[in-house]
Structure 1
Amino acid sequence: MGWDEFLLLWCAVWGVVALAGCGMSLAGVTAEQRTVRLTGRIERVREPRHGGSRKGGISVVVSYRDPASGQEVTVTNDGECGEMITAAWEGREIGVSYPRGRPHVHRFSNIPEEPGRGLGWAGFALFLVHVGLVVLAAVDRGWPWALIGFCGPWAVFAAFHLPGTVRAKNDRLGRLAAMDTVRGRVVAVLKDVSVDQDDGHTWTTITPVVSFTTREGTSVTALCTSHLADPAGAYGRDVTVHYTPADPADFTLDRAAEHRSEGQDVTFNILVIIVFAATAVAGGVLL
């Protein structure tokens, strides 16, 4: 079997996989569509122990109602329960998901999530079809087709997402400007040590935990991963916290630094467009 036959077979197989995934999505039988997604409520926040581990994030007790049975379910985030809860307060709404009919096999997310269509694998299979077609064109017609086939679509993709990136930047700057400011305190410093199984090298991760009370009287406990000098020695330190009134999970200890970093995503997106577009054009010139 030559390269042409192999690549055609590759495209055919992954094309069938993509069609099967789309068919399952239309029939509503993908794993994503069979997952129940709803909103849970934090009933209790357990303050982290100083010197403990950050695994699982802030320890919380969450309640939610199973829509199928009407049963009220109360669980904790001990163990592997999805996303790490990085900020918590009593009454906060978070996302909960679980297989249909099994409400105790739960996973958390920091924000409630909308049900998906389960097209992830179908999209990945379609991408592999595209890769096969580009390689086939490069083999048959010359390697510049690889530059056009790979870099051209990525340039279009990046250009399509640029307006959204700009809007996200402007929205973030608006939230930073509207933040309230209160005093907070580092109530714990968490320490995790991981060991590389190959060479025995160890990594130590230090994560301070900040507690603050909003002007509305909400007591917030949150992991603080940036903008804190000497985090290992921060236990008991008073800090200034800037937070978004509508969502105290959106907070920072250095609003000026956040403001300076907001333009980086837009700059990176523009550079990606330029590089990919120039590479695709170069491929066209070399044909």
Structure 2
Amino acid sequence: MDFHEALGFWWVVPAGLALVGYALSLLGLSRAQRAVWVRARIVRVDQPAHWESKHPGIPVVVAFQDPASGREFTLSNAGKHGSAIHEAWVGREVEARYPRGRPDRFRVVLDTDGEKSGRSGPNCLVWLLLVGLVVHAAVVGGWPWALLGSGGLLTVLAACSPDIRLARERAARLAASVAVPARVVAVTRDVYRDGEGSEIINHAPVVTFTTVEGTHVTVLSLDGIPQPSRSLGRELTVHYVPGNPAVYTTDLAADRREGRKAVAFIVVLLLAGLAGLVSGAALL
């Protein structure tokens, strides 16, 4: 077997890794399944420093109990342990995991879909495998197979996407939102460089507000506030969902437009996928 023939078996590695991952998940032996999962509670919220990076999120201190020892741990997150927290208030509960016997190595997990089952890694490998198969089909079979492969991939991606459901759920929740005054207390600053070496500066305001229930909330607003670099000290109105201030917006109309754009994008993606399937089949 020469090099080019061996190259045709590139798919063996990602397929094998995905199968191993799914096998470990079924046996309950994946890293996530072997970890200890607990409900952690935020007990202190600190304000991000003005002009610091947004990547660590909002610095918080969380408390949780180790099921094995019964001991209570109070540890700082500070964006270094798992997911960065963008909406924080004292009393908020979040999921956390850590290796058995090592609570100090806890990681906050905000999106637990696929994490607890240990299938997030294998699922990513399957998507990479599908993309590779589409490229391989395009190289070997030409345009008809390229259209069939890409069309099928887009169709599956659109059909599996939760964006339409999430957009509708968010719109329904915000329909019953409550408006309260808010204030920008800091602005984060991150500097990136594009491919040509030019600087791109990104700003994200840190906003605080108090709910009608008396809960003081700090959020890192990644979008929705015009001219964020000049927003320090600006007075705003925040619309939040009662009982869950993590669902909020500073502009209801703009939020509805973004929801409609998300739905339209998935519909276009589905139509493009179906068009690719039909065109590819017609060219065969």
- Shorter chain as denominator, the TM-score bin is 0.7 to 0.9
1:60-209 → structure 2 map (5 Å cutoff) = 60-78=60-78, 80-110=80-110, 116-127=116-127, 143-161=143-161, 164-194=162-192, 201-209=198-206
Would the aligned equivalents of 1:158 and 1:272 in 2 still touch at CA under 8 Å? yes
The more displaced of 97-106 and 137-146 is 137-146
Q: Which amino acid aligns with 2:76?
A: T
Over the matched positions of the two proteins, sequence identity in percent amounts to 42
- 210-219 or 137-146: bigger deviation: 137-146
Query: CA RMSD, aligned part only?
Result: 2.9
Which position in structure 2 is the counterpart of 1:210? Answer: 207
Residues 37 and 113 of structure 1 are in contact (CA less than 8 Å); yes or no, is this contact kept in structure 2?
Answer: no
SS of the aligned residue for 2:105 comes to coil
Q: Deviations over 1:229-259 (max 9, x none)?
A: 3322222222111111121121111111111
Aligned residue for 2:101, secondary structure, equals: coil
Q: Kindly state the Cα deviation for residue 104 of structure 1 after the two structures are TM-superposed.
A: 0.5
CA–CA separation in structure 2 for the residues paired with 1:10 and 1:266: 36
**More deviation, 140-149/212-221:** 140-149
Match of 2:54? 54
Instruction: Kindly provide the amino acid, as one letter, of the partner of residue 207 in structure 1.
Output: A
Following superposition, the deviation at residue 262 of structure 1 comes to: 1.1
* Deviation (angstroms), 1:146: 3.3
- 1:266 corresponds in structure 2 to 263
Whole-Å separation in 2 of the counterparts to 1:44 and 1:63: 9
How far residue 111 of structure 1 moved from its aligned partner, in angstroms, is 6.2
Going from structure 1 to structure 2, the CA distance change for 1:243 and 1:14 (only over 3 Å counts) comes to closer
Cα drift, residue 227 of structure 1 = 2.6
CA distance in 1, matches of 2:197, 2:137: 46
1:31-72 CA-to-partner distances (Å, cap 9, x unmatched) read 222222221111111233334443412111110111122121
Q: Does residue 1:40 correspond to 2:40, yes or no?
A: yes
Question: 8 Å contact 2:58–2:78 — kept in the other structure?
Answer: no
Counterpart Cα distance in 2 of 1:271 and 1:17: 33
Contiguous gaps of at least 5 residues in structure 2: none
Find the aligned partners of 2:222 and 2:81 in 1 and give their Cα distance.
21
Higher CA-based Rg = 1
Partner secondary structure for residue 41 of structure 1: strand
- 8 A contact 1:96–1:112 mirrored in 2: no
2:45–2:89 contact (8 Å) kept in structure 1? yes
Of stretches 222-231 and 205-214 in structure 1, the one that deviates more from structure 2 is 222-231
Q: Secondary structure at the match of 1:167?
A: helix
Distance 1:65 1:13 in 2: 40
Q: Which stretch shows the higher mean deviation, 128-137 or 170-179?
A: 128-137
1:170 CA drift (Å): 2.3
Deviations 1:122-158 (A, max 9, x none): 3455456656766776677665233223422431442
Matched ranges for 1:230-241 at <5 A: 230-241=227-238
Distance 1:6 1:131, change over 3 A: farther
Amino acid at match of 2:147: L
For residues 175-224 of structure 1, what are the alpha-carbon distances to aligned partners after superposition, in whole Å with 9 as ceiling and x for unaligned? 1211101111122223333467x865433222221111110010111112
Provide the rounded CA distance (Å) in 2 between the counterparts of 1:95 and 1:15: 31
Unaligned 5+ runs, structure 1: none
Deviation at 1:159, TM superposition (A): 3.0
- 1:255 paired residue among 208, 227, 252: 252
User: CA, structure 1 residues 40+152, in 2 after alignment: closer, same or farther (shift >3 Å)?
Assistant: same
User: Could you say which residue in structure 2 is the equivalent of 1:284?
Assistant: 281
In the superposition, the TM-score normalised over structure 2's length comes to: 0.85
